[in-house]
């Protein structure tokens, strides 16, 4: 099988996958397991046929390792509620389907698909930040609580301590994802213990390690960035991204945030019985404006294919 035909078959599968999963996610609020399984089988068959014809079975090892790591990362992100199970499975599928030759600007040999996450979450974060700033009045009170001097100092201390631990990691993106991932998870499950441990670690670093006294500017920037991330997370948790719709347009799975009288009901996705009740008693209702990760992931995959990796590196190369 020629390289062109091999790439064309996989890219065709990627485009079909993107269209079908977009339709399923928007109409049923879920991506069917059947869809994921069918395209995983088809993708794997194409890889096998290509390896057999070109006698290059060693490439299958890289493809499998990348796919397994992608599944593991997807599972971890699902476990800690960064995204839903469907998104984790879709990320694994795209990791399998993208030809390895399209990861030109990848720094991690056995997990080049981390670039998909970069090309998805960086643009998405910018969009969410803009939306959050527009709705800032809805989260102003909650956000200002985190701007107390004590909390800012603790944030600075925790980032300083963790940064000097993860500093030796050679991959910049992985380094900072790990930094903020540890902070997010630790604050959620062991907030008090987290600040105690990081304070002790920082004291040890300052006393025994010279590195504890360097990189002040970078730590200040990372602390500032953590508050930018807070704005987005608070906006999401506070259901700030909501839109007013007629009750007749309600669908199963939507999350009501408030009614026309501004009464809040943050809660679970709505079911059929609740829709019937609201149809009888309400005319309009506010629902969460759904962040469709399947849509953004498809766009991120297309960016990866066009740029052959990290879109920022691609831009730098283009401007040279």
Shared domain check, 143 and 91:
no
* Structure confidence by residue, pLDDT tens digits, 165-202: 888 887 777 788 888 888 888 888 888 888 889 888 88
Residue 165 lies in a domain: yes
Shared domain check, 101 and 85:
yes
Retrieve residue 274's tokens: 């609740």
Residue 127 lies in a domain: no
pLDDT at 154 over 50: yes
What pLDDT is attached to residue 42? 95
Residue 213 lies in a domain: yes
Its domain, for residue 208, covers 136-237
Q: With cut-offs at 50, 70 and 90, classify the pLDDT of residue 65.
A: very high
Shared domain check, 109 and 191:
no
pTM: 0.79
Shared domain check, 300 and 277:
no
Domain tally, the chain: 3
| φ, ψ dihedrals at 240, nearest 5° | -75, -25
Mean pLDDT score of the chain: 83
Shared domain check, 198 and 149:
yes
Shared domain check, 91 and 50:
yes
Residue 121 lies in a domain: no
């Amino acid at each position: 099988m020629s390289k062109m035909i091999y790439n064309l078959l996989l890219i065709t599968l990627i485009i079909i996958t993107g269209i079908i999963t977009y339709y399923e996610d928007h109409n049923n609020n879920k991506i069917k397991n059947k869809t994921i399984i069918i395209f995983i089988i088809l993708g794997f068959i194409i890889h096998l046929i290509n390896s057999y014809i070109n006698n290059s079975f060693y490439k299958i090892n890289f493809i499998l390792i990348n796919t397994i790591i992608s599944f593991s990362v997807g599972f971890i992100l699902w476990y800690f509620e960064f995204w839903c199970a469907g998104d984790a499975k879709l990320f694994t599928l795209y990791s399998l389907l993208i030809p390895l030759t399209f990861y030109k600007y990848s720094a991690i040999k056995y997990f080049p698909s981390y670039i998909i996450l970069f090309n998805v979450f960086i643009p998405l974060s910018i969009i969410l930040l803009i939306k959050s700033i527009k709705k800032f009045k809805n989260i102003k009170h909650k956000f200002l609580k985190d701007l107390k001097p004590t909390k800012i100092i603790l944030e600075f201390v925790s980032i300083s301590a963790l940064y000097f631990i993860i500093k030796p990691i050679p991959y910049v993106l992985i380094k900072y994802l790990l930094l903020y991932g540890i902070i997010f998870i630790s604050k959620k499950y062991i907030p008090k213990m987290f600040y105690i441990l990081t304070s002790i670690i920082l004291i040890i670093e300052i006393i025994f390690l010279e590195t504890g006294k360097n990189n002040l500017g970078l730590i200040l920037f990372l602390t500032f960035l953590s508050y930018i991330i807070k704005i987005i997370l608070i906006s999401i948790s506070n259901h700030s991204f909501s839109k007013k719709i007629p009750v007749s347009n309600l669908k199963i799975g939507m999350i009501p945030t408030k009614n026309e009288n501004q009464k809040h009901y943050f809660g679970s996705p709505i079911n059929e019985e609740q829709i019937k009740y609201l149809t009888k008693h309400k005319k309009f209702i506010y629902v969460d404006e759904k962040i469709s990760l399947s849509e953004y992931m498809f766009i991120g995959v297309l960016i990866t294919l066009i740029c052959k990796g990290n879109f920022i590196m691609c831009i730098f190369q283009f401007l040279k």
